[in-house]
Amino acid sequence: MDTHAARGRLIAERERLEGVRQAADRLGAGAREAAERELSSADQHPAELATETIERELDWTVVRHAEAELAEIDAALARLDASTYGSCEACGQPISDARLDALPAARYCVEDQAKVARARRNGHR
Ligand SMILES: [Zn+2]
């Protein structure tokens, strides 16, 4: 595993996600202003209100998703610093380079990822 290349990919992905989060923050600020205008204007069309409500909910989904991915990338960068990057957190076996190429922030090997996903579905919430 080329940790230098991995770090470069993680940092590039981090910058992309920061951009997404900042763009969503700006959209969110715009939506809040729109909501304040709604309160002060009595004659707005109901369909426009509905559209703006949907846009606000979409913004939050994007922000939460970007923040969750950022947390995974920070965790992966911490593993790089600790020299544990590329090892499965469950079984300790190396994660394949192909998997890390596709998912630079992967914590688990394919088998353990499937187990974790199953455990989550079975009600650890
Ligand atoms: Zn594993």
pLDDT value of residue 43: 61
Q: How many CB atoms lie within 10 A of CB 46?
A: 7
Residues sharing a CB contact under 8 Å with residue 116, sequence separation 6 or more, in sequence order? 90, 108
Closest to 93 measured CA to CA, from 78, 108, 113: 108
Which residues in the chain show pLDDT less than 50?
none
So what's the pLDDT on residue 123? Answer: 74
Residue 114 and residue 39: Cα distance in Å, rounded? 47
User: Domain segments of the chain: what residues?
Assistant: 3-85, 88-125
Tell how far the Cα of 100 is from the centroid of ligand 1, in angstroms.
13
In the three-class reduction of DSSP (H, G, I as helix; E, B as strand; rest coil), residue 70 is classed as helix
Ligand 1 centroid–CA 86 distance in Å is 11
Distance 94 CA to ligand 1 centre (A): 8
Token pair in block for residue 88 = 């499965």
Model-level pTM?
Answer: 0.73
